[in-house]
Amino acid sequence: VTLAHIGLGSNLGDSRRIVADAIDALSALPHVRSLHASALYETPPWGVVDQPPFVNAVAQIETAATARALLDDMLAIERAAGRVRDGSRWGPRALDLDLLLYGGAILSEPGLDVPHPRIAQRAFVLLPLADIAPDIHVPGAGRVRDLLARVDADGCRRLA
C-alpha cells in the first residue's frame, strides 16, 4: 500500500460541487483504502491569469494501485466530470486531477511526472497539501511546510 497525494482543481461550472464529487469518486475506487481530504480553497489563477478563480483541494489516499493504474482512474474521473482536453495548457477546466506524490517515488514517464514538477511554486497546491501533510517530504524539493513559507499565498481563501 502506498500513500499518495492528488491535487484537485476546477474553474468551470459548479466547481465546489465538482471537486467534492471528485473526492467522493476517489474514495470509491476499489484500490483506495483510506482518504483524507483538505479543505476547499478559492485561489487566483496561476500561469494564465485571465481566467476565473479556481477551487482547489488535495486528497491523501492509501492505495494498492500502481501509479499508472491510479493515473488512469484519475483521467476517467476527469472525463466523467466533463473535462474536455482541448490542448490548452493552464486554461479553464471543469476538473483537473494531478498526481502530486506517490510515496517517495520519483517517476518520469510519458504523462506521469512524480513528484509533480511545479509543486514548489504553487500556493494552490501547497496550501491544501499543508492541511493534511505539512511534514511530508517532496523528493528533490523539501518539506511541505517549508515550501509553503516560500510562496505567495495572497488571494487564496479557505472556503467554509
Which residues contact Mg ion (rule: CB under 5 A)?
A: 96, 98
Least Å from the CB of residue 120 to ligand PH2: 15
The catalytically annotated residue of 73, 96, 122, 131 is: 96
CA distance 105 to 84: 29
Please give the helix or strand (H or E) that residue 21 lies within, else none: helix 15-27
Here's the x/- map for ligand PH2, 5-44, by CB under 6 A: it reads as ----x---------------------------------xx
CA distance 56 to 54: 6
* Residue 56 dihedral angles phi and psi, to the nearest 5°: -125, 155
Residues near 128 by Cβ (< 8 Å), separated by ≥ 6? 7, 38, 39, 40, 41, 56, 57, 58
- Reply yes or no on whether 98 is catalytic: yes
The catalytically annotated residue of 16, 33, 50, 93 is: 93
Least Å from the CB of residue 106 to Mg ion: 18
Residues touching ligand PH2: how many (CB under 6 A)?
11
* Binding residues for ligand PH2 (CB under 6 A): 9, 43-47, 54, 56, 90, 96, 124
